[in-house]
Amino acid sequence: MKNPKYSLIPAIAWLIISTILLTLPGSTFPKEDWLSKIWFDKWVHIGLFGLMVFLWCWAFIKINKKDLKNIFLTIAIIFLFYGIAMEFVQKYFIANRSFDVGDIIADAIGCVAGYFYCVRRYIKK
């Protein structure tokens, strides 16, 4: 990707995919009981948001190399608020879905994990 703006493509694509997954009606999910025993839903949220933060941080590394730590923190906070907003969307607008504080906690863990990974990997001391 020679043009730095093309680095936004994976981040935007993942945002679209994540939004679609988070807005699927609850009846489309399997009712497997063993998945709830291993908190599969929470691991999915951690992965979704960790990858989201990573991809957006990676895109901004290609676009702007200044003040990366603050940019990474801003990205993590934005996607934490996105996760909170999606819980309200699920509660009020999506059939068979509900608001879950556990999902918000998992989103926050994913955002923090993505942030710390990017800081450790991309910011030189």
Q: For residue 37, what pLDDT is reported?
A: 58
State the 10-residue block means of pLDDT for the chain, 125 residues long: 80 97 76 63 95 96 88 98 96 90 97 97 83
Q: What is the reported pTM?
A: 0.88
> 14 exposed, middle or buried (CB, 10 Å; 0-12, 13-18, 19+)?
middle
CA distance 67 to 92: 38
Q: For residue 62, what pLDDT is reported?
A: 86
* C-alpha closest to that of 74 among 32, 14, 108, 115: 115
